[in-house]
Amino acid sequence: MTTQEPTVKLPEMSLAEFLESAPPGTKATIPDLYIIESRILGPGQYWAVNTPTIRLYCSSEGCGGPRSFTGEKNVLSSSDQVFLTYTCRNCNQSTKLFAVTTAHEDPSSAQGTALKLGEDPPFGPPMPGRVISLIGPDRETLLKGRRAENLGLGIGAFAYYRRVVENQKGRLIEKIAEVAARLGADKATLEAFNKAKNETQFSRAIDDVKKAFPETLMIHGQNPLTLLHSALSEGLHAQTDEDCLELATSIRVVLSELAERISQALKDEAELKSAVSRLLKPKP
């Protein structure tokens, strides 16, 4: 006697929620998957996949934040695979491509099931533009690390992030020195930063500038360079994939916070100088 396996109930969500937040591999019941469209050529109507406006992160230079995206209409049969192309309404430059398999079980209803096969750019929270600018030449390696982190590949993510920090430690120190200079650091301090920038050993570079590190860039009272070095020193061989994933996430979070603080410090100083200049300008 054979036993029938219980039917697995699919999660139910709107198409906008499915596209915005469901990771690849998710299969769901979508009440608003289809809409009825009038035929352009000839009489009658047909079902088309719904393309609601969705909110996604736009990484273009003009946006750099959450924006509304609109999709191109697609005609679907009762069961089909489709590519949904979305474009940012603000800059009209950034696009998002979804690969989805759909099934329309009841031709009298807008409801159907959808399986997300993939998306490009890849699924997951975006890497902030300020971090990408801070890292500079290793942008692609940084993004590979983010994609590996999104997929839960801890060893891969850690290896990519470690390469980024080790390759760009001189650039990080140079940016920190720029903040120190804006805050009025003396010549000896700036020379210490310049020496640290060219130091091959990360630990020595940190020691060279630890006393001169700008207070405004500290993260909960800790030097972010020390935090990064501590994470990188853990190594790959003694860690599980889960441990490496936690370390990789910590490295990304510290890099993101450092980039934000550097940007804010330089912005604040620029605004302050501009304000002082305006107030000192003689009135006509």
Instruction: Let me know how many helices (H) and strands (E) the chain has, helices first.
Output: 8, 9
Q: What is the pLDDT of residues 103-147, one digit of tens each?
A: 888 888 899 999 999 998 888 777 777 888 889 899 889 988 988
pLDDT > 90 in the chain, percent: 39
pLDDT score, position 273: 66
Question: pTM of the prediction?
Answer: 0.64
| Alpha carbon 88 to its chain's center | 16
Within the chain, residue ranges assigned H as helices are: 15-21, 129-135, 139-150, 154-182, 187-197, 202-209, 224-232, 241-280
Q: Which two tokens stand for residue 54?
A: 């969705």
As given in the structure block, the two tokens for residue 18 are 């499915």
**What is the number of alpha carbons within 13 Å of residue 189 lying toward its C-beta?**
16
Q: How confident is the model at residue 78 (pLDDT cuts 50, 70, 90)?
A: very low
| Whether pLDDT at 74 is above 70 | no
Average pLDDT of span 182-197: 89
pLDDT in tens, 6-43: 567 889 999 999 999 888 889 999 999 998 876 554 55
C-alpha closest to that of 236 among 120, 146, 155, 123? 155
Higher per-residue pLDDT: 3 or 235: 235
